[in-house]
């Protein structure tokens, strides 16, 4: 049973439905791999072994729920009723969530068995997963490198085969970045596609999703997660058919732009980042698409500051919630220096008018970029500017924590823009790196607004024509 956690989730559900294996056997396999590998990787905040097995015992052969008996992990910034919700922050204490967030409730209704919750950077701020509270989460391909963030624990858990799939979310690349670091597929859906009910629903930047091994799995899960929830202040239009159906079709001949121009002028791309786009362009041309090299108009002075003026208040809102739970105000000793710096910046320098004005200006910037992209069906960019960075390169406890925040943007300059624009974007593993780093090399593919189905079809085609599959990490095969 050693390869079970590397099989597609639909296949696993089929095995349970047919009675070829039991849900208990499947969940036990996940728990055994967590016991074996998590001490090296540190991907889990909590493991729910006893309760997960008890739930699995209640799933019988013939269960028609689409993913009955399949193990899954939830990033520890979404509420699972009766479980700790920590945001990887000491100041959250051991708060027990009183309800399931929408994404968790939908996954449960689909039959998934939650085996645990996964690590993230404190408050989900940076694209590495290294916290004062829970320690360092490691990349299963190279334990000295990051699995990315903020959904780093989920990415590491899937890549190492501790679970076949895991929840993540993306406010500046936090699903796509870790997917790129460990050779997984990470989709950021259209803004408003997946509700953050019951405590949200109108988020400007953040979208929930999953980390998977294949584009097909991501499409199937989007059909599970997507949809309006009562009271949502915004939502994406319903697709004409299930996303999985569209993703399963040939995309037709498309006009695709490719670029290696970083939106962050200071970011330097390594040779493999450039090569990823070149390889993708060659594959897409061979598949019959018109591929055009183009430079988007996205090097605009002050855009990073505007993004910080929107992102910072989101972080501060989480801290304000934690203050209510703690019954006192947060202090510098309660949190990591970077979190404190962002909190103080928002308290001292960013007014509510500043935050609202920043969003308005970013929306104007998005219109400019989307207008430029209108003649194209998709855009291909590097996923990352460099190989997954080594631990300590971005240090949230450094003497100058905002310098680390800036350094994180140099690592991941291509992702946050599409949280601002709201349009769908996906990470697709592509080939091996040539610089000796063991992690797979990926590209980012960006679609038209609210056209996840078409984007998934193109990503699935790229996945099919690459004639390569991400290798398993050595520690997962030992």
Beta bridge partners of 25: none
Q: Where are the alpha helices (DSSP H) in 205-302?
A: 215-225, 243-247, 271-286
Q: Rounded to whole angstroms, what are the CA distances from 131 to 105, 136, 156, 163?
A: 28, 6, 15, 22
**Radius of gyration for the alpha carbons in the chain, expressed in angstroms and rounded:** 21
Q: Rounded to whole angstroms, what are the CA distances from 122 to 87, 246, 349, 363, 417?
A: 6, 37, 22, 28, 22
d(CA 246, CA 437) in angstroms, rounded, equals 35
Strands 207-212 and 166-170: antiparallel
Contact yes or no for 31/239 (Cβ under 8 A)? no
**Which residue, 98, 115, 104, is CA-closest to 51?**
115
- Using the CB atoms, write b or e for 436-473: b if 16+ within 10 Å: ebbbbbbbbbbbbbbbbbbbbbbbbbbbeeeeeebebb
User: Phi and psi of 316, rounded to 5°?
Assistant: -65, -30
**Which residue, 442, 384, 407, 450, is CA-closest to 207?**
450
d(CA 416, CA 71) in angstroms, rounded, equals 30
Residues 6+ apart with CB under 8 A from 70: 9, 12, 13, 16, 26, 111, 112, 113, 164, 165
Strands 135-136 and 71-75: unpaired
- The two tokens of residue 219 are 């499409």
Cβ count near 96 (within 10 Å): 12
The helix or strand, by DSSP H or E, that contains position 447, with its residue range, turns out to be strand 440-447
- The two tokens of residue 368 are 């400019």
**Which residue, 172, 170, 133, is CA-closest to 154?**
170
Catalytic positions: 75, 150, 174
- The two tokens of residue 6 are 């590397």
- The two tokens of residue 441 are 């090399």
Contact yes or no for 362/346 (Cβ under 8 A)? no
């Amino acid at each position: 049973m050693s390869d079970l956690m590397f099989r597609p989730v639909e296949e696993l559900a089929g095995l349970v439905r047919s009675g070829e294996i039991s849900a208990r056997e499947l969940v036990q396999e996940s728990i055994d791999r967590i016991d074996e590998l998590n001490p090296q990787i540190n991907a889990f905040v909590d493991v729910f072994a006893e309760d997960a097995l008890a739930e699995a015992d209640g799933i019988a052969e013939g269960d028609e729920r689409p993913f009955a008996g399949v193990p899954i992990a939830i990033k520890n910034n979404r509420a699972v009723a009766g479980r700790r919700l920590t945001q990887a922050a000491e100041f959250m204490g051991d708060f027990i969530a009183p309800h399931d967030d929408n994404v968790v409730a939908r996954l449960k209704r689909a039959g998934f068995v939650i085996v645990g919750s996964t690590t993230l950077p404190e408050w989900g701020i940076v694209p590495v997963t290294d916290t004062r509270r829970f320690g360092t989460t490691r990349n299963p391909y190279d334990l000295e490198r990051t699995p990315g963030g903020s959904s780093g624990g989920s990415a590491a858990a899937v890549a190492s085969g501790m679970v076949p799939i895991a929840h993540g979310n993306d406010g500046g690349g936090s699903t796509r970045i870790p997917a790129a670091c460990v050779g997984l597929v990470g989709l950021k859906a259209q803004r408003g596609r997946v509700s953050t009910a019951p405590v949200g629903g109108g988020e400007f930047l953040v979208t929930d999703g999953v980390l998977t091994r294949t584009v097909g799995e991501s499409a199937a899960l989007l059909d599970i997660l997507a949809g309006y929830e009562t009271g949502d202040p915004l939502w994406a239009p319903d697709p004409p058919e299930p996303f999985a159906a569209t993703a399963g079709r040939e995309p037709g001949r498309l006009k695709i732009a490719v670029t290696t121009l970083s939106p962050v002028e200071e970011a330097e791309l390594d040779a493999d980042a450039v090569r990823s786009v070149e390889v993708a362009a060659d594959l897409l041309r061979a598949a019959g698409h018109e591929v055009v090299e183009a430079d988007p108009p996205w090097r605009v002075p002050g855009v990073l500051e505007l993004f910080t003026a929107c992102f910072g208040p989101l972080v501060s809102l989480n801290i304000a919630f934690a203050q209510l739970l703690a019954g006192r105000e947060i202090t510098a000793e309660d949190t990591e220096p970077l979190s404190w710096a962002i909190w103080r910046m928002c308290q001292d320098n960013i007014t509510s008018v500043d935050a609202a004005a920043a969003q308005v200006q970013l929306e104007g910037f998005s219109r400019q970029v989307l207008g430029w992209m209108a003649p194209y069906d998709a855009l291909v960019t590097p996923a990352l500017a460099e190989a997954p960075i080594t631990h300590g390169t971005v240090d949230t406890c450094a003497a100058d924590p905002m310098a680390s925040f800036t350094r994180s943007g140099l690592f991941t300059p291509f992702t946050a823009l599409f949280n601002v624009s709201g349009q769908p974007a996906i990470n697709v593993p592509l080939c091996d790196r040539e610089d000796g780093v063991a992690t797979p090399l990926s590209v980012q593919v960006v679609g038209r607004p609210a056209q996840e189905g078409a984007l998934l079809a193109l990503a699935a085609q790229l996945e099919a024509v690459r004639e390569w599959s991400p290798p398993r990490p050595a520690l997962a095969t030992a």
